[in-house]
């Protein structure tokens, strides 16, 4: 067992985010005043969302929008619909977005939104009415020059289209740039759908070079088979890697011979889950995380790798396609085991990077080819990976701490230069 002695850990995502920030702040020797400014969310909005259901009943849902920082530009961050959404979770996600945007050096601060709802229980009409009312309630703080939402867990380009149309109706003119992750027909960007996974692919290639792993013969396990996980699996499969396991919220599948991720996604879309996928054995999410593989891709929700299971992780590389999948206590154990973790604020930053490209295209009314989008994305992710690695080497820390030192330092410098108004 590991020699790391941490008897108990918090699983509160905002407390975890604060701890990660404080670690970087210690290395940067930030004073108490700067620490307070950087870790405190700028705005927190809680809204009630009354929705007329199909049967005529009125139900009220609770929603949130948090702007963690506006220092380097407008807030940027997704909106998730999930029955377990909490304000602390949204605050954590907003702060991670601040550091993520700073890591890849794009001119945004961090924001995030959420509605406490299980969208799978709503009809399409109910979902649209909920989305439009939520958009109306948060319209007081969002907009193309203030805060730009995007899709997240259980939200889609259609969700963004409804929000864009609602904001446009309130303003009296079309506001293409008020959200990203939109359909192509409404100012979306080519390459956006695959961007999070493509960023994961680029950083995983670079991590394999560092670890001396041949990606074309590597074995990969993917936990979470939504947009990011399924596309990351397909892209790594194209690079020659063997996908030996994949899972969704209902369980997973395993085959040492390899799984075709494209066929697996088709099967999931037809049946609703990966369960009973041909020529594969059933496996639990817990078992998948502990498989003997080269690359583990956690692509689901927070707190997947914790103090409880970190010592049993056997992968050589953990590529965090999800936000907050590894707790600080688990980080310490993985580092001790020599496992290279590509931190979430770097690994999954491809999504916000191409969201930035989409926003720029919307503002200029000039759109790029998919080849151009992917070229700019690869350049941005490669530069960020090299800067994070160089920072980690300089301070003799792991990649996550290196990313935080780089990101927090950039935001701290911008805050210092801007000063305090009035």
Query: Do residues 177 and 275 share a domain?
Result: no
Single out the residue of 149, 351, 341 nearest to residue 232, CA to CA.
351
Q: Are strands 147-151 and 75-82 parallel, antiparallel or unpaired?
A: parallel
Residue 364 lies in a domain: no
**pLDDT confidence of residue 303:** 86
Instruction: Tell me which of 42, 76, 112, 242 is the catalytic residue.
Output: 112
**Residue 113 near residue 77 (C-beta atoms within 8 A):** yes
User: How crowded is residue 263: how many other Cβ atoms within 10 Å of its Cβ?
Assistant: 12
Query: Do residues 131 and 274 share a domain?
Result: no
**Residue 225 near residue 274 (C-beta atoms within 8 A):** yes
Residue 318 lies in a domain: yes
CA distance 134 to 52: 13
Query: Do residues 25 and 145 share a domain?
Result: no
Query: Do residues 162 and 248 share a domain?
Result: no
CA distance 147 to 155: 17
pLDDT digits (tens, 9 = 90+) for 390-405: 999 999 999 999 999 9
Residue 354 lies in a domain: no
Residue 280 lies in a domain: yes
Query: Do residues 379 and 260 share a domain?
Result: yes
**pLDDT confidence of residue 1:** 34
Query: Do residues 393 and 412 share a domain?
Result: yes
Residue 72 lies in a domain: yes
- Choose one of 149, 166, 188: the last residue of a domain: 188
Domain count, the chain: 2
CA distance 271 to 292: 28
Query: Do residues 378 and 309 share a domain?
Result: yes
Give every residue of the chain whose pLDDT is below 50, as ranges: 1-7
Single out the residue of 13, 384, 358, 419 nearest to residue 190, CA to CA.
358
Single out the residue of 16, 25, 23 nearest to residue 411, CA to CA.
25
Query: Do residues 238 and 376 share a domain?
Result: yes
Residue 358 lies in a domain: no
**pLDDT confidence of residue 6:** 41
Using the Cα atoms of residue 162, residue 248, residue 229 and residue 289 in order, give the sign of their dihedral: positive
Residue 366 lies in a domain: no
Domain hosting residue 407, numbered range: 1-34+190-349+371-422
**pTM assigned to the model:** 0.93
Query: Do residues 140 and 179 share a domain?
Result: yes
Single out the residue of 323, 232, 276, 352 nearest to residue 20, CA to CA.
323
CATH code of residue 1: 3.40.50.720
Query: Do residues 149 and 113 share a domain?
Result: yes
**Residue 154 near residue 70 (C-beta atoms within 8 A):** no
- Residue 252 phi/psi, 5-degree rounding, is -140, -175
Residue 365 lies in a domain: no
Burial of 240 (0-12, 13-18, 19+ CB in 10 A): exposed
Query: Do residues 123 and 65 share a domain?
Result: yes
- Residue 109 phi/psi, 5-degree rounding, is -100, -175
Residue 274, both tokens: 């990966």
Query: Do residues 198 and 181 share a domain?
Result: no
Active site residue 76: no
CATH code of residue 100: 3.40.50.10860
């Amino acid at each position: 067992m590991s020699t790391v002695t941490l008897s108990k850990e918090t699983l509160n995502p905002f407390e975890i985010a604060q701890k990660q920030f404080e670690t970087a702040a210690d290395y940067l020797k930030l004073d108490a005043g700067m620490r307070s400014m950087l870790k405190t969310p700028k705005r927190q909005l809680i809204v009630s969302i009354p929705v007329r259901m199909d049967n005529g009943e009125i139900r009220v849902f609770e929603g949130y929008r948090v702007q963690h920082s506006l220092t380097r530009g407008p807030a940027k961050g997704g909106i998730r619909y999930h029955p377990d959404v909490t304000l602390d979770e949204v605050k954590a996600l907003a702060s991670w977005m601040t550091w993520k945007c700073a890591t890849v050096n794009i001119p945004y601060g961090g924001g995030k939104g959420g509605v406490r709802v299980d969208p799978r229980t709503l009809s399409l009409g109910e979902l649209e009415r909920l989305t439009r009312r939520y958009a109306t309630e948060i319209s007081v703080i969002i907009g193309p020059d203030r805060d730009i939402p995007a899709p997240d867990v259980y939200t889609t380009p259609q969700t963004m289209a409804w929000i864009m149309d609602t904001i446009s109706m309130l303003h009296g003119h079309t506001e293409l740039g008020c959200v990203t992750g939109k359909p192509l027909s409404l100012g979306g960007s080519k390459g956006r759908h695959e961007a999070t996974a493509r960023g994961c692919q680029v950083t995983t290639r670079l991590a394999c070079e560092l670890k001396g792993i041949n990606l074309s013969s590597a074995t990969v396990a993917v936990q979470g088979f939504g947009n990011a996980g399924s596309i990351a699996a397909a892209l790594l499969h194209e690079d020659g890697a063997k996908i030996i396991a994949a899972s969704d919220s209902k369980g997973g599948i395993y085959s040492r011979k390899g799984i075709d991720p494209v066929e697996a996604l088709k099967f999931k879309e037809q049946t609703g889950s990966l369960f009973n996928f041909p020529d594969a054995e059933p496996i639990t999410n817990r078992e998948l995380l502990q498989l003997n593989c080269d690359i583990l891709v956690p692509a689901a929700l927070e707190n997947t790798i914790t103090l409880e299971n970190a010592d049993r992780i056997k992968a050589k590389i953990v590529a965090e396609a999800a936000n907050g999948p590894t707790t600080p206590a688990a980080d310490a154990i993985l580092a001790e085991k020599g496992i290279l973790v590509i931190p979430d604020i770097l690994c999954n930053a491809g999504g916000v990077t191409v969201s930035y490209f989409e926003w720029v295209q919307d503002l200029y009314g000039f759109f790029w080819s998919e080849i151009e989008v992917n070229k700019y994305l690869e350049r941005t992710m490669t530069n960020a990976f090299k800067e994070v690695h160089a920072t980690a080497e300089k301070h003799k820390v792991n990649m996550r701490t290196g990313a935080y030192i780089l990101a927090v330092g950039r935001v701290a410098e911008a805050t210092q230069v801007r000063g305090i108004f009035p």
